[in-house]
Amino acid sequence: MGIPLRQALLVAIPLVVMFSILQAAFAQEAGKVIINRVEVWGLFYKGMVIAFTIGAIVMGVIAYVVFRFRESNPKNASRTSMEGRH
């Protein structure tokens, strides 16, 4: 088996973050002629995609936690020595 998932992610995520910051920091100097309409709406759509992605991740995690730790899950039966004895 290759590199474990955790290590791969722990390397990949900071690289993505650093790349974004560096790209903006070393971008062409301000004063460039741009079409505001295109840039602003492009940013808006990008923001919407990211907002919904984060929403999906958060909702997915909540669904997973609710399902995994539900009371009816056999793994959660008698979690402590005191439970289920009265």
Partner 1 sequence: MGHSTVEWVYVGVVVALLIYIGASAWDVERFLDHPPKDAKVVKVTGQQWFWTFEHEDGKKELGELHLVKGVPYVFEITSRDVNHSFNIPDLTVLMDAVPGRINHMWVMPDASGEYLIQCREYCGFSHYQMRAKLFVEEAIPVSGETEVSNIPVSVQEAKPVIANN
Residue 44 to residues 21, 31, 36, 38, 59, Cα–Cα distance (Å) = 19, 22, 12, 10, 22
Compute the least distance from the CB of residue 75 to partner 1, in Å.
13
Residue 37 three-state SS = helix
Considering beta carbons, is residue 4 or 84 the nearer one to partner 1?
4
- Binding positions for partner 1, rule: CB under 8 A: 5-6, 9-10, 13, 16-17, 20-21, 23-24, 27, 30-37, 39-43, 46-47, 50, 53-54, 57-58, 61, 64
Q: Are 78 and 84 in contact (CB under 8 A)?
A: yes
Q: Which is nearer to partner 1, 38 or 82 (CB)?
A: 38
